[in-house]
Amino acid sequence: MNSKVISAKEIAKADPVFGQLSFDNHEQIVFCNDKDTGLKAIIGIHNTVLGPALGGTRMWNYANEWEALNDVLRLSRGMTFKSAITGLNLGGGKAVIIGDAKTQKTPELMRKFGEFVHSLSGKYITAEDVGMTTEDMDTVREVTPYVTGISESKGGSGNPSPITAYGVFMGMKAAAKYKFGSDVLAGKSVFVQGIGNVGEALVGYLVKEGAKVTITDLSEERLHTVSNKYGVAIYKGNDLYNEAMDIYAPCALGATINDETINKIKAQVIAGAANNQLAEDRHGVMLQEKGIVYAPDFLINAGGIINVYAELENYDKQEIIRRTENIYNTTLEILKRAAANGATPNVAALNTAKERIAKRKIEKSK
């Protein structure tokens, strides 16, 4: 009999869905394919105990389908806990479309995607994410009511990016209060990594507060546009993580806090808009050991979902702002709870979210 040593990655790929750590008991995963439009998408529905799974659709040119699947599993799981800790009656879901949003996205593709969303009969409600616009959500709305973040002219809440950024800003101020004893960001050096719609809006809030902002992005054009608009510095170095700064704000894709970067990070606070900033849970422990205060991403970037939730609950802009500003209080509470219980902020936030879900599950079973 011949024996063969199989690597951990090969074992994982032998069970590409249920065997993944990111699977985490998802209720449903939908693979969407349409030859005519070129649509290849995956919808992940993680948990619907608190309500329908709401989460944005991301269009990204993934290296392979494996990468896309892992991303949608991680993102939809994060949405479950984001809604739970924010007190919304929503579950967690997310969708990814495989492709280049700049060259492959068409109205026909978006309508076909909307048809797949509609086939789930409201179990999943979509919204805007990376590679998507409010106009794309308007197109999806042509074929399904199960979409949020549509244009204000069509009765929607509009672009969620400014509210998302405001929530991150509130969470950052709370983390600063915990670390420095004051939530005043004037004079603090803040590096914003990624200046898309949310990142740029965050820069605006920080500049208004008087922070010393430095920006970095893959797009040179965006860098110069935002730099000229707000009068902020562009990072010219080769290793952002090794730079001295007060606050690091990751606002691009996730997993930037990983084995390669964590020992370099000199920031005293990490608070940004990106999802899944910790590559692994153990990186949260490592940050804590270094004395770095980490504001859980799924908590402080919840402003966007608060904004689109208004379309379902029919509350106004004033209530959106009030709920988003409460991210400050929740963040401070989580940081204090984590310290009191000897846990990381990420674990403390996850436990709080899981407790709410468990409680609702018991109530529904009676």
Catalytic residues: 94
**65: which residues sit within 8 A by CB, 6+ positions away?**
40, 98
Q: Which of 131, 119, 139 is nearest to 45 (CA)?
A: 119
**Where does 38-98 show beta strands of DSSP type E?**
39-47, 53-54, 57-60, 91-98
Report whether 198 belongs to an annotated binding site. Answer: yes
CA 98 to chain centroid, in Å, comes to 18
Report whether 196 belongs to an annotated binding site. Answer: yes
**Residue showing tokens 């997310």:** 94
Q: Are 200 and 164 in contact (CB under 8 A)?
A: no
For the chain, the residue count is 366
Report whether 197 belongs to an annotated binding site. Answer: yes
Q: How far apart are alpha carbons 200 and 203 in whole angstroms?
A: 5
Report whether 78 belongs to an annotated binding site. Answer: no
Two tokens, residue 31: 């693979």
Report whether 93 belongs to an annotated binding site. Answer: no
State which amino acid sits at residue 281.
D
Q: How far apart are alpha carbons 317 and 190 in whole angstroms?
A: 28
Two tokens, residue 335: 């940081």
Q: Which of 116, 211, 124, 198 is nearest to 161 (CA)?
A: 198
**Residue showing tokens 């509350």:** 315
**Residue showing tokens 């690597």:** 7
Local structure of 357: helix, strand or coil: helix
The number of C-alpha atoms within 13 Å of 165 and in the hemisphere containing its C-beta is 21
Q: Are 132 and 59 in contact (CB under 8 A)?
A: yes
Q: How far apart are alpha carbons 77 and 23 in whole angstroms?
A: 8
Annotated binding site: 194-199
Annotated binding site for NAD(+): 194-199
